[in-house]
Structure 1
Amino acid sequence: MKKLPLLFLSDSNTSGAISREVKAGRVRKIGPRLYTTNINDDPAYIIRQNWLQALSLLLPGCVVSNRTALESRVSPAGRVYVTGEYPRSLELHGTKFIQIKGPPPVEGDTPLLGIFMSSRARALLENLTPSRERSGGELKNLPRELIERRLAEQLNVEKEKSINRLRDQARLIAPQLGLEKEFAELDDIIGTLLRTRKATLADPIAKAHQLGAPYDPHALEHVEALWSVLASNPYKYCPTSSGSGPSFYTVAFFDSYFSNYIEGTRFQVDEAKEIVDSGVIPTIRPADGHDILGTYRVVSSLDNMRQTPGTAEEMIALLRARHTDIMVGRPDKRPGQFKKETNFAGATRFVDPDLVQGTLMQGFGMYKSLEHPFARALLIMFLVAEVHPFDDGNGRTARAMMNSELVAADETRIIIPSVFRNEYVASLKRLTNHLQPESFISVMSFAREFVFNVSFEDYGTARLQMEECHAFDDPADDKKLLIPNNLST
């Protein structure tokens, strides 16, 4: 007998051969005329994981429809919804295949394994039809709020041309499906998202489009993961001893120096101090020199660093102004202007340009709700880093926004020494990729404790203490950052 697929049906021509395979233990029966070559796994698992193959055998020629067409999986209640010539229901090991009488395939529906997948236009129209709750408390259609969200997300990613093309296809097939009323509703939703109509929307992401401030829900999910931990835990106050006078400018220098090191702008520490003290940009590396000096001018201005935003608009204005000053030596990076193209860091894709302002404004509400300056500092820093609103200089600007919160509250700054860079970057990745904020909070808490224990009364003393703590060592040298007054090797 030729090699059998994972799932297959028996018929009069194959029943004898299949019986012999069953007796030999190479296949087993898991439904009426339905067999599998998987003799080990639970039949419920096999059906759920291979529902498309099972569907093509049980209900050939049907059209995957309603919520199944949009979710592309078995529903939470264990159901698969399709359209066919007559109503029918089959249940196999906890997965129920429900065929609803309805129109055959139309233009745009895609043949697959002997069945058809609804086009996105058809799926949206069908999901806008009235839906009565079935036994088990599930509707065959997704609620309108989720339809709005899916359309808003499509507009976010694929832009206006794509959603207009979808509307044109829905307009074409609606009469064939008898769904003209549903098309009118879909047309209203799309028009409202494009701000050419004024229908009432329920989904917050869709509403943001309607108001002209669309945002990235995935980035906000990451910010919210941090916010929920920051909002539910107490943090100690850590008053600074470098709030004014010479020590303020000394700590500001190291803030600038290490913030640039993280981004790859690397000078010997004494070279960087000479640039700051003299204001003279080196002729060999002028752009890098401007980075050091521009960052220092922001983080060493007591007037600037005591400014914190009271509104989302003020936050955006501060962000732009600080970025302008930090990136003044790199006009090609468009200082103070939000990005025009999506930026990346390795496999991480940051927020699309059209969603930058809306995402920042949404995140501001979480920032504003936090009371402790340490919590606000971490939230605003991560929000800016996660959005990455500029072509370049995002990290330096984010850390300037962070330390502004601390300076304004007379709290100790957070500085990430060179040797601590890997821990810092890894904690950000863990938060972005795995929604785990604890490591980020721990890393920033340790960095704050480090700064709190350094004496910044003069440059020489601070430099020596930091050197003893391995602060200037390369992360690749396998050295660990130590806390002053608690030195051990």
Structure 2
Amino acid sequence: MTITFVKKTATPKTAPQDVIFLSRLSAAERRKVHRSAAAGELTRVYKGVYVSNEGGQAEVERRVRAQWVDIAGMLIPGGVVSHISAFRGQSQDHIWTVSHPSLVRKKLELPGLAFQLVEGPGPLPGDMPLSQSGLHWSSPARMLLENLGRKAPRRVGQEEVEKWLIERLNASGEKFLNELRDKAASLAEPLGMKEQLETLRSMIGEFLGTHEKGELKTTDGILVSKGKPVDRDRIERFDLLAGYLRGAALRRIEDGVPAGVARHNRAFIESYFSNYVEGTKFSIEEARDIVINNKVVTTRPKDSHDILGVYQLAVEAPYRHSPPVSGEEFLPALQEWHAKMLHARPEASPGNIKTQTNYAGTTQFVSPAQVRGTFEEGSRIAMSVPEGIARAVFYLFLVAEIHPFVDGNGRVSRLVMNAELSRTGLHRIIVPTLFHPQFVDCLRKLTRDNEPADFVRSLAKMARWCAQFDYSNLDEVIESLKKTNAMEESPTQFQLRNIDGTHTLAE
């Protein structure tokens, strides 16, 4: 670091952010520093280390923290940032843990900063130099060994190490863990950490399926070892929604639509809107010919079969009233639904889990490697939600948030929701075209901001709205839908109304 002295004055001038080390100065420059310190212009923060007093004590502490690498390199030459500091990538309450072979069991304290010294070798292969300070940073392999064992002030403990390994496995694959294990093996002896190496080997071995010794401690780790890693952020969001739904007062709207023609008509309306909002757009008269009169549009055969696929799942047993069983069986059942729904669209890989992470705008959905485990855990959370509309709402979000397929996720999510409603004798929910943008906004609010209230209210509102119609006569229900503006696309030009012309039902 360059210290600038102005020759016209008797005191050294230093930029406020600079730290002055006496060992780097000439004898004359040292005398100037001492005079400046005596005059109150500089503060001695450690033996041989000074900083500017400008700005007061808070600024002194800030400057010390800003220059911690240079300070540590001067005070602890040959030290290695290690243990919890290397793992977290930052100090803990402004305390850095540094390994050193001889300067041990000491705590060097400066204004706003401290270094806790622990016994350990100096730089080893893989440790990274921090600029030209003389200080190093523990390599990933060394850092993991240093942090294994019970959680302690200078060690994160095994559970945190497991989570770190899971993240790297999902991000970089098995090769990364194999290489990490080999590097750790070469460091265990100089570190004196052979026991920690065995623990790390067992953990990685379980993740890679090579052996099982029961070393894993976390739920995530055990799921990974079984080939079922989970998206922990999503599980937390599912827990949040489940907690909200357990306390929500949601009206039960009984299903008064009789079996037979009326039920088939409603299934058609459900399929029409569910496909339209996903981009499979027909006029309702064209869609009616496809479903009711079995007239596939010759110029759009795949789109026609999309309409038929959703309709069949909405009306046929067991799909219409039997949501997938929670746990391991949930995803295979969902894959069966998807295969049936999109059987005429091979480019959508019907029945198969996505192989690449998918997005909606800036929202990134669950990675392919985490789909199975996240469904297994998430569907079990569903069982803690009251059955009926609350659990139906949860099911829709579970599928939509994981987004397991290349295409058709929205349609499948609504079918699973409605299967739960039909199972419990409640009216199925249809999201009409005009309301869909508002529904998506509410869904996005839960996904991005963890706020479930609007999402739940939007579906409860649609449950009430759908129950107004008499589905026994298809001509009449189509005419009623047109009067409510349900088929319009612009929320700025139209407002969804009830059959009697009033605005949509009050909450």
TM normalised by structure 2 equals 0.85
Distance in 2 between the 1:38 and 1:255 partners?
Answer: 71
- Report if the CA contact (8 A) 2:229-2:374 is conserved: yes
- Report if the CA contact (8 A) 1:6-1:37 is conserved: no
- Report if the CA contact (8 A) 1:29-1:36 is conserved: yes
Distance in 1 between the 2:159 and 2:284 partners?
Answer: 55
Match of 1:215 in 2: 230
Shift of 1:457: 3.0
Matched, 1:352 2:372: no
1:251 pairs with 239, 258, 266, which one? Answer: 266
Aligned residue for 2:173, secondary structure, equals helix
Matched, 1:182 2:196: yes
Match of 1:9 in 2: 20
Largest Rg, 1 or 2: 2
Match of 1:371 in 2: 386
Distance in 1 between the 2:318 and 2:140 partners?
Answer: 54
Distance in 1 between the 2:282 and 2:354 partners?
Answer: 28
Aligned residue for 1:67, secondary structure, equals helix
Match of 2:8 in 1: none
Aligned residue for 1:278, secondary structure, equals coil
1:163 pairs with 166, 174, 177, which one? Answer: 177
Shift of 1:161: 0.8
Distance in 2 between the 1:18 and 1:244 partners?
Answer: 95
1:361 pairs with 352, 356, 376, which one? Answer: 376
Match of 1:144 in 2: 158
Distance in 1 between the 2:461 and 2:60 partners?
Answer: 49
- Report if the CA contact (8 A) 1:6-1:38 is conserved: no
Distance in 1 between the 2:336 and 2:314 partners?
Answer: 13
2:414 pairs with 399, 414, 422, which one? Answer: 399
1:289 pairs with 260, 285, 304, which one? Answer: 304
Match of 1:229 in 2: 244
Identity %: 29
Shift of 1:40: 8.8
User: Residue type of the partner of 1:161?
Assistant: K
TM normalised by structure 1 equals 0.88
2:470 pairs with 440, 455, 460, which one? Answer: 455
Aligned residue for 2:392, secondary structure, equals helix
Question: Compared with structure 1, are the counterparts of its residues 198 and 488 closer, same or farther at alpha carbon in structure 2 (3 Å cutoff)?
Answer: closer
Deviations along 1:385-429, one digit per CA (max 9) or x if unpaired, are: 122222211111111111110111121222211112222222222
Match of 2:114 in 1: 96
Distance in 1 between the 2:61 and 2:501 partners?
Answer: 56
Match of 1:125 in 2: 145
Aligned residue for 2:322, secondary structure, equals coil
Distance in 2 between the 1:386 and 1:280 partners?
Answer: 35
Shift of 1:256: 1.0
Match of 1:468 in 2: 483
Shift of 1:470: 2.2
Shift of 1:19: 8.7
What is the 5 A alignment of 1:294-333?
Answer: 294-333=309-348
Question: Compared with structure 1, are the counterparts of its residues 264 and 486 closer, same or farther at alpha carbon in structure 2 (3 Å cutoff)?
Answer: same
Question: Compared with structure 1, are the counterparts of its residues 292 and 70 closer, same or farther at alpha carbon in structure 2 (3 Å cutoff)?
Answer: same
Q: Which moved more, 1:274-283 or 1:451-460?
A: 451-460
Matched, 1:106 2:124: yes
Shift of 1:51: 4.5
Matched, 1:260 2:275: yes
- Report if the CA contact (8 A) 2:392-2:418 is conserved: yes
Structure 1: stretches of 5+ with no match in the other structure: 134-138
Query: What RMSD, in angstroms, separates the aligned Cα atoms of the two structures?
Result: 3.1
Deviations along 1:229-249, one digit per CA (max 9) or x if unpaired, are: 112333221112225233222
Distance in 1 between the 2:57 and 2:437 partners?
Answer: 43
User: Residue type of the partner of 2:209?
Assistant: R
Aligned residues: 478
Question: Compared with structure 1, are the counterparts of its residues 15 and 167 closer, same or farther at alpha carbon in structure 2 (3 Å cutoff)?
Answer: farther
Match of 2:10 in 1: none
